[in-house]
């Protein structure tokens, strides 16, 4: 269960960083969707290490293989197995990772929970696990685009203390091309240059940076999501907080919205042709857990990479105070590589809710007539609350 996500469109990931392979199984994808490895590989390539001078210099092909669920170019409606071989890991000695708990990593908590762990490269706790999510998310993304015309674009909006000035229209207009024109994946070019410089400085210093990613989901019809526990924003929050290094999620006006009064914050409705629209979109495209047809947007906070190339105080497996010396290669900032991961998780949430809503709509009773206009309005009331 801990490794499965979704109710109707479901993904299960498996694999340790230095085992023979990692992968995912997608169950519940509808039949007759065109699908090939070529739909998935570009998403993996965006996540892959070694793609620029500001990510880790490790090189992994991350070549995905489709082992089931597709026949003659179309999905079958059966489980889609995705397989990504792990490269030949160097025959280094892992002694230090075995015996010392890296600060702010999951080495200690895994030992506390399981009483064992695959310490090589972090094992299951490695961000490598997210490759399976990205592969599965590529299928969800294709389904959403194909069936509903939904588009998902995420970008780096803050690195360390360097924040991109937020313009509301960005949420509607930023494209993947805009995002990918710099290696930091921030569509504001002037900020992007400063972000890149900051990451390079952090790397030289053996240090690391965090930041935030903003994600916009465009084209959801009104009605997706569920009330109460499976609100769309609740499932998005879970998806994002399930990512390694993420520490926060906010939708629409988020934490900043708490500065406003109700009159300032409310999104008035108005008609735009025959479409119900909101004048502003502080709600972030969801009201009561359900989409209202406006762009769904949210931000995710990622802490600075825990791996640093410096000496740090820690304890070892014999429960003694000890010291850990960072070595080797690392990602001084996970943000650029996290962009496709955030998009993938958003796609998985939305595909699941698209299917859930489809089930409801296809079985609902006939339309209920609107109330007659003749009745005169009367004062509102109050009661249980």
Residues 44-83 that bind a second copy (CB under 8 A): 49, 56, 58, 60, 65, 67-69, 71, 74-81, 83
Q: Which is nearer to a second copy, 182 or 246 (CB)?
A: 246
CA distance 139 to 80: 9
Binding status of residue 343 toward a second copy by CB under 8 A: no
Binding status of residue 383 toward a second copy by CB under 8 A: yes
Binding status of residue 31 toward a second copy by CB under 8 A: yes
Q: Quick one: tokens of 170? A: 């960005």
CA distance 42 to 369: 48
Candidates 165-173, 176-184, 188-196, 290-298: pick the segment binding a second copy (CB under 8 A).
290-298
Candidates 38-46, 164-172, 186-194, 274-282: pick the segment binding a second copy (CB under 8 A).
274-282
* Nearest CA-CA partner of 295 in 160, 154, 121: 154
Q: Which is nearer to a second copy, 177 or 272 (CB)?
A: 272
Contacts of 221 (CB under 8 A, 6+ apart): 148, 291, 293
- Min CB(149)–a second copy separation in Å: 13
Q: Which is nearer to a second copy, 176 or 351 (CB)?
A: 351
Q: Hey, which residues between 242 and 271 contact a second copy (CB under 8 A)?
A: 242, 244, 246-255, 257-271
Q: Hey, which residues between 101 and 160 contact a second copy (CB under 8 A)?
A: 101, 103-106, 108-110, 112-118, 120-121, 123-129, 143, 146-147, 158, 160
Q: Return phi, psi of residue 4, to 5°.
A: -125, 140
CA distance 74 to 34: 4
Torsion of CA 122, 123, 127, 131, to 10 degrees: 160
Q: Which is nearer to a second copy, 176 or 330 (CB)?
A: 330
Q: Which is nearer to a second copy, 284 or 340 (CB)?
A: 284
Q: How far out from the chain centre does Cα 29 lie?
A: 19
CA distance 142 to 147: 8
């Amino acid at each position: 269960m801990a490794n499965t996500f979704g109710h109707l469109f479901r993904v299960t990931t498996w694999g340790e960083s230095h085992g023979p392979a990692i992968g995912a199984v997608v169950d519940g994808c509808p039949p007759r969707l065109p699908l090939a490895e070529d739909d998935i590989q570009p998403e993996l390539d965006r996540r892959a290490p070694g793609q620029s001078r500001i990510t880790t210099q490790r090189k992994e092909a991350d070549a995905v293989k489709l082992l089931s669920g597709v026949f003659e170019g179309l999905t079958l409606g059966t489980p889609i197995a995705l397989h990504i071989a792990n490269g030949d890991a160097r025959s280094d000695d892992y002694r230090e990772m075995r015996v010392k708990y890296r600060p702010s990593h999951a080495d200690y908590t895994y030992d506390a929970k399981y009483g064992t762990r695959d310490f090589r490269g972090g094992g299951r706790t490695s961000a490598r696990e997210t490759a399976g999510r990205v592969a599965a998310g590529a299928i969800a993304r294709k389904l959403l685009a194909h069936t509903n015309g939904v588009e998902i674009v995420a970008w780096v909006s803050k690195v360390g203390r360097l924040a991109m000035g937020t313009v509301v229209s960005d949420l509607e207009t930023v494209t993947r091309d805009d995002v990918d024109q710099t290696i930091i994946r921030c569509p504001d070019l002037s900020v992007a240059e400063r972000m890149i410089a900051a990451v390079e400085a952090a790397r030289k210093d053996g240090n690391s940076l965090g930041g935030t990613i903003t994600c916009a989901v465009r084209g959801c019809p009104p009605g997706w999501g569920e009330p109460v526990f499976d609100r769309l924003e609740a499932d998005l929050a879970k998806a994002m907080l399930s990512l390694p290094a993420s520490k926060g999620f906010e939708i629409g006006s988020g934490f900043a919205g708490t500065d406003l009064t109700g009159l300032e914050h409310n999104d008035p409705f108005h008609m735009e042709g025959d479409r119900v629209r909101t004048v502003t979109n502080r709600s972030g495209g969801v009201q009561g857990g359900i989409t209202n047809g406006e762009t769904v947007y949210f931000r995710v906070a990622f802490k600075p990479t825990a791996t640093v190339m410096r000496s740090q105080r820690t304890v070892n497996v014999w429960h003694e105070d000890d010291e850990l010396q960072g070595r080797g290669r690392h990602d001084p900032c996970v943000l650029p590589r996290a962009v496709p991961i955030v998009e993938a998780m958003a796609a998985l949430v939305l595909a699941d809710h698209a299917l859930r809503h489809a089930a409801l709509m296809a079985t609902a009773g006939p339309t209920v007539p609107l109330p007659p206009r003749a009745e005169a309005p009367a004062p509102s009331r109050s009661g249980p609350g």
